[in-house]
């Protein structure tokens, strides 16, 4: 079965520090991967997808097929980045989510 | 803040009772999904529907049932057979051919 692993339940960084949220996957074929984010008291929403290769709110994620990873990065964390982040991949016609990582940005 | 609505926000039931969670969308999306969110386990797919009058089991369908009689609505029934029903339930929808899912605000179900 396809699987998404987010090894860190909680990542705590200081404001202005770099952030890297880890995501590893197991998938046979060419994966299509996403990052979703859930801010406090808001709905879960799409942050970015690897196909578009975009930067959203300063975040980027590069698909590394050799390492089967799709880590989410931001060079300088801001307090408003504090949220729950989920990595997900497409499996057929559904999404498979990782367990999620809580990011806490301290001032 | 339309799109997808779930009601109620909080729901309390006694053990042994069936309970139905509502999910409605006005996005004209064909596909709808139900997830269960538990701490440390992420989102797990319960059921999904790609089109009206059709639905498929997800990874944890046991103890749950759904119907899809209308495009806009995808209610989830948590039956008494579900061993651990207390959880946060999320509904989502998407357009055909798009894997971006739009999520509702969720319903927190507590069964005692």
Question: What percent of chain A has pLDDT above 70?
Answer: 100
Mean pLDDT throughout B69-93? 95
Residues of chain A with Cβ-Cβ distance to B27 below 8 Å are none
Q: Chain B 11-70, CB below 8 Å of chain A: which residues?
A: 31, 33, 35, 40-45, 48, 50, 58
Q: Cα(B90)–Cα(B103) distance, rounded to whole angstroms?
A: 7
Please spell the DSSP secondary structure of B44-93, one letter per residue. EEEEEEEETTEEEE-TT-TTEEE--SBTTB--EEE-TT-S---EEEEEEE
Q: Nearest residue of A to residue B100 by CA position?
A: A46
Which of A74 and A53 is assigned the larger pLDDT?
Answer: A74
pLDDT digits over A55-66, tens only?
889 999 989 999
Mean pLDDT throughout B45-51? 95
Nearest CA-CA partner of A32 in A9, A48, A56: A48
Mean pLDDT throughout A2-18? 96
Residue B1, burial from CB neighbour count under 10 angstroms (0-12, 13-18, 19+): exposed
pLDDT at B2 over 70: no
- In degrees rounded to 5, what are phi and psi of residue A52? -80, -15
Mean pLDDT throughout B18-44? 94
Mean pLDDT throughout B79-108? 91
> What count of CB pairs under 8 Å joins A to B?
43
Q: Nearest residue of A to residue B44 by CA position?
A: A97
Please, are residues B95 and B30 in contact by the beta-carbon 8 Å criterion? yes
Q: Contact A94/B40, CB-based, under 8 Å?
A: no
């Amino acid at each position: 079965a396809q699987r998404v692993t987010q090894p860190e339940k909680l990542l705590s960084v200081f404001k202005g520090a770099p952030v890297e949220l880890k995501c590893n996957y197991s998938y046979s074929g060419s994966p299509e991967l996403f990052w979703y984010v859930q801010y406090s008291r808001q709905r879960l929403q799409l942050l970015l997808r690897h196909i578009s290769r975009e930067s959203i709110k300063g975040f980027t994620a590069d698909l590394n097929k050799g390492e089967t990873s799709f880590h989410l990065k931001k060079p300088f964390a801001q307090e408003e980045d504090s949220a729950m982040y989920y990595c997900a991949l497409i499996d057929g016609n559904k999404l498979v989510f990782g367990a999620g990582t809580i990011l806490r940005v301290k001032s | 803040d339309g799109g997808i609505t779930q009601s109620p926000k909080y729901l309390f039931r006694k053990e042994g009772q069936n309970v139905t969670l509502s999910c409605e969308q006005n996005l004209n999306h064909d596909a709808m999904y139900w997830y269960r969110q538990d701490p440390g386990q992420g989102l797990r797919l319960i059921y999904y529907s790609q089109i009206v009058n059709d639905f498929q089991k997800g990874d944890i369908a046991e103890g749950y049932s759904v119907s899809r009689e209308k495009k806009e609505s995808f209610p989830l029934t948590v039956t008494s057979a579900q061993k651990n029903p207390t959880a946060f339930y999320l509904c989502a929808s998407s357009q055909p051919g798009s894997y971006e899912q739009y999520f509702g605000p969720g319903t927190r179900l507590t069964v005692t």
